[in-house]
């Protein structure tokens, strides 16, 4: 059993991981003397999907969804504060970006990590035990904490059959910038119909003449290359009010809702789709440059095998979802797997695992994102970006970072949660006969004259 040694450094909170989720918590706790805190990341230095920082890639959410603005607009780690600190606040305004460049947001996150002395890199958390306090063993030392916040994010995912063949010209998108420089003249397949796949396909289409692949195919399991739904009422499902509603639905309804709404988070930005379409138009009708461009939606990749006869050639076997009886084959020289990410390992929790409540592959959290466990009520394990099944699609993107972090701070400091922002225009809950009265409706949406009948009439 690990024991607490009085000489070990002790914190009120230790965060494992320093991606946007835990950086948001670090921002809200900065300079708070009641909650000494430390955030530890295994990377040598801050990065945020750096291998996918392609020219033209933009943030897919509003810039107000930064580390702090939505819960503490006066915080010194907001995006506005970054711009001001860098002396470029007028230039940013005058640049009139329709969407913020992803690289600029990455630089902002790096700035926030660097300016916060409680965030450190180059240290990996190996295991965590508990003996009145959490005992956190890293590859460098052992420290203790009253509470921990897990924000370890995701890791690259490729299908099992692809794993043995990964290498120089057959790689996951998380290695794109370092491995994509020698694709000139090659037949390249991009597998994956989300935003990342779209950006790579566009990048390959946009390369100057001497760097171009001779053939570019884009394969997606979805029926078409589908846009992200970024419309107003859809975005009302990315606010706290909806997250709370979603949380109290039965698990089967939550799962169904996630599947039905996947394009609200995993679809492709319209401007990227338009740019791709226009590139293909140019290639085929204006420049007539003879490149082979293949668009193959509605297919699943079943296998990849090296060619027996030609070194460096691969056979990609596909199945068309509407004609599954006839597998299709593509001969190619390189594959980029834009097949997404899965939750990162939390093996460091193994010593505590039996004490934590889990369901459907997730640790079960309460309203403040603390895992339900058999330990003391004033010792919490907060879970960031790890409960999509309980909190819905926003849990794994940037939308609710600042709000979730604020809830965690409230719990950590044992103070009442601040007043929530107004609820959605939409009534998510089922109405009971007495729920709707003239006064409740007018206070919700501010229409003094609205008359509503009870009993649904
Ligand atoms: C290319 C790309 C673009 C995206 N763009 C958007 C966007 O525009 N809008 C949006 O809302 N979402 C976007 N996302 C989703 C994205 O996953 C999240 O925005 C965000 O990165 C999740 O933050 P996180 O802190 O939970 O995890 P991560 O960013 O994955 O950070 C987790 C950190 O934990 C560290 N870690 C893991 N294990 C340990 C350990 N044992 N010890 C110490 N450290 C550890 C890792 O090194 C890592 O730095 C994008 C994703 C990708 C891939």
Q: How far is the CA of 19 from the centre of ligand 1 (A)?
A: 5
The domains of the chain are located at: 10-153+344-412, 160-227+267-337, 427-457
At 422 the three-state DSSP class reads coil
The backbone torsions φ and ψ at residue 21, rounded to the nearest 5 degrees and listed phi first, read -65, -55
Q: What is the CATH number of domain 160-227+267-337?
A: 3.50.50.60
Give, using CA atoms, the residue closest to atom 25 of ligand 1. Answer: 19
Q: Which of 349, 358, 385, 442 is nearest to 155 (CA)?
A: 385
Q: Which of 14, 20, 44, 61 is the best mutation target for the ligand 1 pocket, counting ligand atoms within 8 Å of the beta carbon and taking the most? A: 20
pLDDT level of residue 440 (50, 70, 90 thresholds): low
Q: How far is the CA of 44 from the centre of ligand 1 (A)?
A: 15
Is the confidence at residue 366, as pLDDT, over 90? Answer: yes
Ligand 1 atom closest to Cα of residue 41: 44
Ramachandran area for residue 136 (φ above 0: left; ψ -120 to 50: alpha; else beta)? beta
Q: Which residues line ligand 1 (CB under 6 A)?
A: 16-22, 40-43, 49, 52, 59-61, 124-125, 151-154, 196, 344, 348, 384-385, 397-399
| Residue range 10-153+344-412 in CATH 3.50.50.60 | yes
Fold agreement (10-153+344-412, 160-227+267-337): yes
Q: Burial level of 381, CB count in 10 A (0-12/13-18/19+)? A: buried
Q: Is the pLDDT of residue 415 over 90?
A: no
Q: What is the mean pLDDT of residues 279-290?
A: 93
pLDDT above 80 (res 355)? yes
Q: What is the dihedral of CA 245, 250, 251, 256, to 10 degrees?
A: -80
- Mean pLDDT of the residues in the chain: 93
- What string of DSSP letters covers 265-285? HHSB-HHHHHHHHHHHHIIII
Q: How far apart are CA 112 and CA 118, in angstroms?
A: 11
Give the pLDDT score at 128. Answer: 98
**Do the Cβ atoms of 392 and 259 come closer than 8 Å?**
no
Closest residue CA from atom 9 of ligand 1: 60
CA of 184 to the centre of ligand 1 (A): 31
- Tens of pLDDT along 178-231? 999 999 999 999 999 999 999 999 999 999 989 999 999 999 999 999 999 999
What local confidence, expressed as pLDDT, does residue 450 receive? 45
C-alpha to C-alpha distance for 252 and 255, rounded to whole angstroms: 5
198 near 273, Cβ under 8 Å? yes
pLDDT at 344: 96
**Ligand 1 atom at minimal distance to the Cα of residue 123:** 43
What's the CA-to-centroid distance between 6 and ligand 1, angstroms?
A: 34
Contact 216, 205 (CB under 8 A): yes
What is the per-residue pLDDT for 441? Answer: 55
pLDDT digits (tens, 9 = 90+) for 84-111: 999 999 999 999 999 999 999 999 999 9
CA-closest residue to ligand 1 atom 27: 153
Between these two residues, 308 and 189, which has the higher pLDDT value? 189
């Amino acid at each position: 059993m690990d024991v607490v040694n009085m000489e070990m450094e002790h914190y009120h909170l230790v965060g494992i991981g320093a991606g946007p989720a835990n950086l948001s918590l670090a921002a809200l706790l900065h300079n708070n003397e009641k909650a000494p805190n430390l955030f530890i990341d295994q990377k040598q230095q801050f990065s945020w999907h750096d291998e996918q920082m392609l020219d033209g890639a933009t943030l897919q959410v509003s810039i107000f969804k930064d580390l702090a603005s939505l819960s503490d607009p006066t915080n010194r780690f907001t995006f506005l504060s970054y711009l001001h600190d860098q002396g470029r606040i007028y230039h940013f305004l005058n640049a009139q970006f329709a969407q913020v460049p992803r690289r600029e947001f990455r630089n902002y996150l790096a700035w926030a990590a660097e300016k916060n002395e409680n965030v450190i890199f180059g240290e990996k958390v190996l295991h965590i035990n508990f003996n009145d306090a959490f005992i956190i063993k890293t590859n460098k030392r052992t420290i203790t904490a009253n509470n921990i916040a897990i924000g370890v994010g995701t890791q690259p995912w490729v299908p099992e059959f692809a794993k043995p063949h990964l290498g120089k010209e057959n790689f996951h998108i998380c290695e794109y910038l370092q491995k994509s420089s020698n694709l000139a003249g090659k037949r390249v397949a991009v597998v994956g119909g989300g935003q990342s796949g779209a950006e790579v396909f566009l990048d390959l289409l946009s390369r100057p003449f001497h760097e171009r692949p001779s053939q570019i195919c884009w394969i997606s399991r979805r029926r078409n290359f589908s846009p992200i739904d970024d419309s107003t009422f859809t975005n009302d499902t990315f606010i706290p009010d909806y997250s709370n509603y979603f949380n109290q639905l039965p698990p089967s309804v939550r799962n169904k809702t996630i599947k039905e709404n996947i394009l609200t988070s995993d679809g492709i930005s319209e401007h990227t789709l338009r740019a791709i379409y226009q590139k293909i138009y140019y290639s085929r009708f204006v420049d007539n440059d003879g490149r082979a461009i293949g668009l193959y939606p509605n297919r699943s990749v079943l296998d990849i095998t090296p060619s027996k006869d030609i070194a460096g050639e691969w056979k990609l076997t596909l199945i068309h979802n509407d004609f599954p009886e006839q597998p299709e084959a593509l001969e190619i020289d390189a594959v980029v797997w834009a097949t997404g990410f899965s939750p990162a390992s939390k093996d460091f929790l193994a010593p505590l695992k039996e004490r934590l409540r889990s369901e459907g592959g997730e640790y079960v959290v309460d309203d403040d994102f603390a895992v339900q466990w058999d330990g003391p009520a004033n010792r919490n394990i907060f879970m960031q970006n790890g409960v999509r099944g309980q909190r819905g699609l926003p849990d794994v993107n940037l939308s609710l970072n600042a709000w979730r972090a604020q809830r965690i701070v409230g719990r950590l400091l044992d103070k009442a949660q601040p007043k929530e922002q107004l609820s959605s225009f939409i009534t998510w809950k089922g109405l009971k006969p007495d729920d709707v009265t003239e006064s409740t409706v007018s206070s919700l949406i501010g229409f003094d004259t609205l008359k509503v009948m009870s009993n649904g009439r």
